[in-house]
Structure formats: C-alpha cells, structure tokens
Amino acid sequence: MTVDSQLLVERARKGDAAALEALLASVAPAVHRFGLRMCKNAPDAEDALQDTLLAIATHLGEFEGRSSLLSWVFALTRSACARRRRGLKNQAMASDDGVPEPQDDAPSPEQRASDHELAGAVGRALDALPEDYREVIVLRDIEGLSAPHAAAALGVSVDAVKSRLHRAREALRDLLRPVLEPQVPKTAAGCPDVVALWSKKLEGDLSQGDCAAMEAHLETCPSCGAACSALKDALLACQRSASAAVRPEVQARVKAAVRAWAALGK
C-alpha cells in the first residue's frame, strides 16, 4: 500500500468524507474493470461497483492493513460480482459489451485498427475462459497485482495462483491461436512447452539455465517463436486495457457511494 493510500485510509476511518471519496476514486476504475470482466455485462458491473464501493466505505474499520489495500478491495469485488452473477449464469452476453477500450498515445490509424482488433479478440477470449482462469488473469495480467497480492485477493496460496495462472495463460493463447498464429506450422515433437516456460519466466520461477535453453530454442524454432510472441501480444493487450480512461458512470458511482455512506451515519 502506498503512503498516499495509507493516509487516505486513516483519514477516511476518522470520518473524512473527502478522503473517502479520494480513496474510492483511486480504486473504482480497477473495481469496474474487474466487474465488467467477471459479470460480462455493463449494468451488473455497475451494480457490483456500487456494492463494492459501499462495502469499502462501511468496512474500512475492519481493514487491518496486513494485506494490500487492492487485495482486500478485490476480495470485496469478487463477492459483489458473485452475488450479481448468481442466477445469470446461462444468459448470453455480447462479449465485449461495455469493456473499456485501450487508450493509445498517438498510434497510426492502421496501428489503432489492429490494436482494437487484438483488444477485441483478447476480450472475447477472456470471456470464453473458465471463471477461475479469467479472474487470475484479470488480477495479475490486467490489474498488475503481484502473485502474493492476487493470492490474498483470491484466498488461495501463492503456488495455487501461479499454477492457475500458467494454465490460464496457456488456455488464453490456445483460444487466440486462430487470430495470432493463423499460418504457423505445428510445433515439432521435440519442442518444449514454451508457453508454460514463458509464463514461469514472467513469475520469476524459471532458472537461468532453463531460460537460456528456452531462448536458444526460440531463435531456431519459428513455431515456438510465434507461440511466445502471441502470448506476449495477448498479455500486452491485457495490460493496455487497464489504462482506459475513467468513465463518467464510475465517477458517479463514487459520489453515490460516499453519499450512501454519509447517510448510514458512518
């Protein structure tokens, strides 16, 4: 937790509404993105956002600061989303409904079109993943939580987060294969599982020797090279989706949550 958010938490706990508003505003975009991904539709995501912000406001006194603020916030968001999703499981949703678009600095129109296409494809692939895979990718690869912080948010061990993450990234890459590696020949029988190795490398769990061996193989094997770039592109698109501008409805929800909290008499 940064010094800033620590100060905000302390002031908000003492009843400072401006500090609470600033604190909620700082976490609201991430909560909203998580809700959009997990609820898969905008109205439920907004309701989950509202529920979560109010839960943060009312339970701030119980936050002990041992876990990171974001771990605690995402744990609350998960319960809010789970409540919203109950009973909606079989309802089909437009896959990229309400998903924020990546924000670009100044890309060319061609670049923008292909980024947009990739973002759309990645969004649809994320939606097609099993919930526990999607959730771990959102926390780790979109919101950038460390593995221990993601583990705290999900209430599982760091090892469990990592193995789930490796499987989730492999599943994501498989789903994106037709888009990102359309004409790539199949990997040879002797090829290592480079996607799994790459995912381990990202978690700092690949030994130097194994890493060197992987890099050497990537240089000589076009199939594995393509598989790795596909995963890198997909994860980059995930990261970029987190930098989208804050939507007005998110800001409105922050103000509504602060008003509701004030009405509760703190």
CB-based burial, 200-210: b 16+ in 10 Å, e otherwise: bbbbeebeeee
113 near Zn ion (CB under 5 A): no
Q: How many residues does the chain have?
A: 266
Residue 168 amino acid letter = A
264 near Zn ion (CB under 5 A): no
Handedness of CA 31, 101, 4, 253 (dihedral sign): negative
Taking the least distance from each CB to Zn ion, the nearer of 89 and 186 is: 186
Taking the least distance from each CB to Zn ion, the nearer of 88 and 191 is: 191
221 near Zn ion (CB under 5 A): yes
Q: How far is CA 130 from each of CA 37, 186, 212, 233, rounded to the nearest angstrom?
A: 12, 25, 33, 21
Interhelix angle 222-241/158-180, nearest 10 degrees: 110
Binding region for Zn ion (CB under 5 A) out of 69-77, 122-130, 168-176, 215-223: 215-223
CB of 221 to Zn ion, least distance (A): 3
- Rule CB under 5 A: which of 142-201 touch Zn ion? 187, 191
25 near Zn ion (CB under 5 A): no
For residue 53, the tally of other CB atoms under 10 A from its CB is 31
CB of 192 to Zn ion, least distance (A): 7
Binding region for Zn ion (CB under 5 A) out of 5-13, 144-152, 159-167, 220-228: 220-228
Phi, psi (5° rounding) for residue 94? Answer: -60, 130
224 near Zn ion (CB under 5 A): yes
Are 44 and 85 within 8 A, CB to CB? yes
Taking the least distance from each CB to Zn ion, the nearer of 15 and 222 is: 222
Binding region for Zn ion (CB under 5 A) out of 83-91, 122-130, 171-179, 218-226: 218-226
Reduced to 3 DSSP states, what percent helix, strand and coil does the chain have, rounded to the nearest 5?
75, 0, 25
Taking the least distance from each CB to Zn ion, the nearer of 191 and 252 is: 191
Taking the least distance from each CB to Zn ion, the nearer of 7 and 191 is: 191
- Nearest Cα neighbor of 98 from 31, 25, 43 is 43
Taking the least distance from each CB to Zn ion, the nearer of 211 and 242 is: 211
CB of 49 to Zn ion, least distance (A): 44
Tokens 């292909």 locate to: 114
Taking the least distance from each CB to Zn ion, the nearer of 184 and 256 is: 184
Binding region for Zn ion (CB under 5 A) out of 42-50, 71-79, 120-128, 214-222: 214-222
Spatial separation of the C-alpha atoms in residues 99 and 49, rounded to whole Å? 14
- Nearest Cα neighbor of 59 from 91, 89, 97, 23 is 23
CB of 227 to Zn ion, least distance (A): 8
Which two three-digit tokens encode residue 42? 């905008």
CB of 88 to Zn ion, least distance (A): 42
Which residues lie near Zn ion (CB under 5 A)? 187, 191, 221, 224
